[in-house]
Amino acid sequence: MILIKLGGSIITNKKRPLSARRNSINKIAKTLKKINESIIIVHGGGSFGHYWSVKYNMHTKPAKYSQKGISVVKNSMVELNKIVLDVLLENKLNPYCLPPTDFVSGNKPINKKIKEIGKIANTNLIPVTFGDALWFGQKKSYILSGDKIMTMLARVLRPRLSIFVLDVDGVFSDLKNKDLICSLTDQPLSFAKVKTDVTGGMKRKIDEATKISRMGLNVFFTNGNKPQRIIDAVKRKKFEGTLF
């Protein structure tokens, strides 16, 4: 089983609110068609969910955010999800839409439901889920990142490979020179102060990827603008990106 996170920066244009990168999604879908293993897809919010989360000042910490905000963020994620599902269908893949409310209660994963997702993936359907605004209980809500969903799913399903598909080649040791770290071992990293999105950008991804790799599982960051790299990694040909 291959677990794939399509980052918001690769499936949307983060510089333009509410604009999907249909071409990129299409190219990635064509690539996924070449994988002969069960796949689960998680996608991020990009210029849909993040745009509205910022407008309504909503974050990953459960709090009493605007009710309107919850609705609007959720609605935008459904819209983006529909675009992803449509492109997958156009490419004759069989997406099976699963909003995170299907397997998360409050902020706790429901393991029985996650096991079911594994079974669905084994029947030639591709479960597709996404980061979302979720009800937490006691009038609180929060933004659940797709990166966190990756960890929830990996813990129960133990995929052979978890791939984070990004808009950059992988993790850079130096942002200016773009020095790519090809292999990350368990060493503490320090982060440059860069502007991130509401769920924490690259740092969040690295945190979640580290958690998954500590479960004894392989995690790989790669550039979705070069989708062949996804296939090369899946087919164990070569890893062009950052391997955890």
Query: Contact residues for ligand IP8 (CB under 6 A)?
Result: 8, 44-45, 49-50, 53, 73, 77, 131-133, 143, 145-147, 198-199
Output the CA–CA distances (angstroms, integers) from residue 94 to 21, 79, 86, 183, in the order listed.
Answer: 20, 18, 10, 33
> Between residues 79 and 174, which has the closer beta carbon with respect to ligand IP8?
79
Q: How far is the CB of 63 from ligand IP8 (least distance, A)?
A: 15
Q: How many residues does the chain have?
A: 244
Nearest residue to ligand IP8 by CB is 131
Grouping H, G, I as helix, E, B as strand and the rest as coil, residue 189 is coil
Cα gap 240→20, rounded to integer Å: 25
User: CB of residue 147 vs ligand IP8: minimum separation in angstroms?
Assistant: 5
Contact predicate 49/100, CB 8 Å: no
Using left for φ > 0, alpha for ψ between -120 and 50, and beta otherwise, residue 18 falls in left
Cβ 170 to ligand IP8 shortest distance, Å: 17
| CB closer to ligand IP8, 48 vs 239 | 48
Least distance in Å: CB of 59 to ligand IP8?
Answer: 10
Kindly tell me which of 105 and 228 has the beta carbon lying closer to ligand IP8: 105
Three-state secondary-structure class, residue 83: helix
Does the CA dihedral 203-102-217-24 come out positive or negative? negative
Q: Considering beta carbons, is residue 50 or 229 the nearer one to ligand IP8?
A: 50
CB nearer to ligand IP8: pick between 140 and 228: 140
Q: How far is the CB of 172 from ligand IP8 (least distance, A)?
A: 20
Task: Check: CB of residue 133 under 8 Å from CB of residue 140.
Answer: no
